[in-house]
Structure 1
Amino acid sequence: MKTLLIYLFCIMPALVLAQNTKPDDRGYIVKVGDKAPDDFKLVLANGETTSLSKLKGKVVVLQFTASWCVVCRDEMPHLEKDVWQAYKDKGLMLIGVDRDEPLNVVQKFAKDMKITYPLALDPGADIFGRFADKKSGVTRNIVIDQQGKIAYLTRLYDEKEFKGMVAAIEKLLR
Structure 2
Amino acid sequence: MKIKLLLITCLFSITALFASAQTNAAADPNTDRGYIVKTGDIAPADFELVLTDGTKTSLKQLRGKVVILQFTASWCSVCREEMPHLEKEIWQAYKDKGLVLIGVDRDEPLEKVKGFHQVMNISYPLALDPGADIFGRFANKKSGVTRNVVIDRDGKIVYLTRLYDKQEFASMLKAVDALVNNKTASIN
TM-score, structure 1 as length reference: 0.86
Distance 1:31 1:39 in 2: 17
Which residue of 19, 40, 43 corresponds with 1:33? 40
Asked whether 1:154 is paired with 2:161, we answer yes
Which secondary structure does the structure 1 equivalent of 2:89 belong to? helix
Consecutive unaligned residues in structure 2, runs of 5 or more: 1-29, 182-188
Distance 2:60 2:176 in 1: 19
Asked whether 1:75 is paired with 2:82, we answer yes
1:32 Cα offset (Å): 0.3
Asked whether 1:62 is paired with 2:69, we answer yes
CA distances 1:74-111 after superposition (whole Å, capped 9, x unpaired): 00000000000000000000000000000000000000
Which secondary structure does the structure 1 equivalent of 2:155 belong to? coil
1:25 Cα offset (Å): 2.9
Which secondary structure does the structure 2 equivalent of 1:154 belong to? strand
1:39 Cα offset (Å): 1.3
Which secondary structure does the structure 1 equivalent of 2:117 belong to? helix
Asked whether 1:144 is paired with 2:151, we answer yes
Asked whether 1:117 is paired with 2:156, we answer no
> Which residue number corresponds to residue 135 of structure 1?
142
Distance 1:50 1:173 in 2: 20
1:124 Cα offset (Å): 0.2
> Which residue number corresponds to residue 49 of structure 1?
56
Larger Rg over CA atoms: 2
Matches within 5 A, 1:84-123: 84-123=91-130
Distance 1:46 1:149 in 2: 27
Which secondary structure does the structure 1 equivalent of 2:128 belong to? strand
CA distances 1:107-129 after superposition (whole Å, capped 9, x unpaired): 00000000000000000000000
Distance 1:145 1:26 in 2: 21
Question: Percent of pairs identical after alignment?
Answer: 71
Consecutive unaligned residues in structure 1, runs of 5 or more: 1-22
Which secondary structure does the structure 1 equivalent of 2:91 belong to? helix
> Which residue number corresponds to residue 13 of structure 2?
none
User: Amino acid of the residue matched to residue 168 of structure 2?
Assistant: E
Distance 1:133 1:105 in 2: 24
CA RMSD of aligned residues (A): 1.0
